[in-house]
Amino acid sequence: MAQQTLKQRFADRLQERQEAHLYRRRPLSFGPQQPQMNLNGRQTINFCSNDYLGLADNPHIKQAVIHALQSGQVGYGSGAAHLVTGHHLEHHLLEDELADWLGCQRSLLFSTGYMANLAVPQALMQKDDLILADKLCHASLIDGALQSAAELKRYPHNDMRALEKRLLQAEKEQRQVLIISDGVFSMDGDMAPIDRLQDLAQRYHAWLMIDDAHGFGPIGENGLGCFNYFSRTIDDNTILVGTLGKAFGTSGAFVAGSNILIESLIQFARPYIYTTASPQINAVATREALNQLKNADRQRRHLQQLIEHFRSGAEQLGLDLMPSISPIQPIVIGDSESALQWSHALQELGFWVAAIRPPTVPQGSARLRITFSAKHSIQEVDDLLQALQKVQTQLRKN
């Protein structure tokens, strides 16, 4: 292939993406993350944040940060990787508290969830190993699997028969298997069958990695996520991943499990070894966020009421909902152009709801990804339903 300028390589591709209604644009926010936000200069009610418990602007977290900074015991930048001088006491305490909360031996902080999901497969899997991943796994899980030395195969979404068939074949071939799945699937809102996944992993001596980014906080007793929801405990061959930028309202991620798992990641996970530690003050904020999250039963009850109220109203409108009990409540529209029309029409009515299009979701399943926060009110949900009905009528006429 002849050498090209950047313009020669990408100008036509960018144009094609625009014409296919797949172009991505960043909305500009003004002010803290809240249900009522100024986005792109327009005052809106925000129904597409992952701030499920409303902790992103929590006053107790703010106060903990202010107090820590005033004490002089922490700064902002960590200055180095965890293995050099970046591992602060606040990081260490947070890792211990996360492990205690989850009931496992250890946890390990990462700067982002994407990095955590890159790190685990790369560090644990070897040549001739096999990774079996749910078809709808988050992109970071797939990228982590692809960048490992193992072979990647994907099984149909939540299809335990297909998964067991591949596990049986791997057992015959004496291959080490890592099963990978989301806990709550980020674009569909449904949950993986954790009980059946763990049963299969134990039966076929596989390792099980669950990214419960959207489960921790809103799901389970004390916000313990999908394992707790299915009344399961974490065994020595289970790897849990969680992000801190969703229900925790802060930033970063963690991997949790056995002592052997965590020591192996510290020694062999390149995304951990070669990255500057997250800010010290973020660990302070997250420790308080964990305390708030564990004691947020009232917010979880209210969140569930919002979800049930919305689903009842959306079903009466004949909207195409997906089977979800989580704060993620997608409405399937179909083609990308129509999904954008719905999203833009809702914006005109003062509601910010993102249109999710391929390649994030499969072709023909573009959708409105509606998410709820415990800070939303029933009245705001009713207002959203009225807006959806108005847009539905308007677009049908057109």
3-state helix, strand, coil in the chain (%, to 5): 45, 20, 35
Q: Which token pair is 289? A: 């966020």
Assess whether 301 and 286 both reside in one domain. Answer: no
Q: Would 6 be classed as within a structural domain? A: no
Asked whether residue 154 falls in the same domain as residue 141, the answer is: yes
Q: Are residues 218 and 338 in the same domain?
A: no
**Is 344 annotated in some ligand binding site?**
no
Residue 11 included in any domain = no
At position 359, the amino acid (one-letter code) is: P
How does strand 351-352 pair with strand 238-243?
Answer: unpaired
Backbone φ and ψ for 106, nearest 5 degrees, come out as: -150, 165
Tell me if 214 is assigned to a ligand binding site.
yes
173 and 41, same domain (yes or no): no
Determine, yes or no, domain membership for 2.
no
Q: Of 294, 322, 349, which residue sits at a domain end?
A: 294
| Whole-angstrom distance, CA of residue 326 vs CA of residue 307 | 8
Binding residue per annotation — 54?
no
CATH, residue 234: 3.40.640.10
Whether residues 301 and 188 share a domain: the answer is: no
Fill in the amino acid letter for 373: S
- Predicted pLDDT of residue 396: 79
Q: Are residues 74 and 211 in the same domain?
A: yes
Question: Do 191 and 320 share a structural domain?
Answer: no
Give the CATH number for residue 359: 3.90.1150.10
Q: Annotation-wise, does 377 bind a ligand?
A: no
Q: Which of the listed residues 274, 294, 314 is the one where a domain comes to its end?
A: 294
Within-domain flag for 4? no
Question: Has residue 181 been placed in a domain?
Answer: yes
**Dist. CA 187–CA 358, nearest whole Å:** 11
| pLDDT confidence of residue 242 | 97
Determine whether the annotation assigns residue 243 to a binding site: yes
From first to last of the 398 residues of the chain, give the pLDDT tens digit: 789 999 999 999 999 999 999 899 999 989 889 999 999 989 999 999 999 999 999 999 999 999 999 999 999 999 999 999 999 999 999 999 999 999 999 999 999 999 999 999 999 999 999 999 999 999 999 999 999 999 999 999 999 999 999 999 999 999 999 999 999 999 999 999 999 999 999 999 999 999 999 999 999 999 999 999 999 999 999 999 999 999 999 999 999 999 999 999 999 999 999 999 999 999 999 999 999 999 999 999 999 999 999 999 999 999 999 999 999 999 999 999 999 999 999 999 999 999 999 999 999 999 999 999 999 999 999 999 999 999 999 887 76
Q: Does residue 173 share a domain with residue 140?
A: yes
Please indicate if the annotation marks 21 as binding a ligand: no
In a domain, 320, yes or no: yes
Domains in the chain: how many in total? 2
Q: What is the pLDDT of residue 397?
A: 76
Domain that holds residue 280: 59-294
Are 311 and 277 in the same domain?
no
Residue 5 in marked binding region: no
Specify the residue for token string 């302070």: 284
Pick from 265, 294, 323: which residue ends a domain?
294
Query: Same domain for 213 and 230?
Result: yes
Spell out the residues 6+ positions from residue 169 whose beta carbon is closer than 8 angstroms to its own. Answer: none
The response to whether 78 counts as a known ligand-binding position is no
> Same structural domain for residues 94 and 242?
yes
pLDDT at 31: 87
Mention every residue, 6+ apart, whose C-beta is less than 8 A from residue 69. Answer: 75, 281
Residue 158: inside a domain: yes
What residues have CB less than 8 Å from 190, skipping those under 6 apart?
158, 184, 322, 323, 324, 326
Amino acid sitting at position 292: Q
Burial (0-12, 13-18, 19+ Cβ within 10 Å), 175: middle
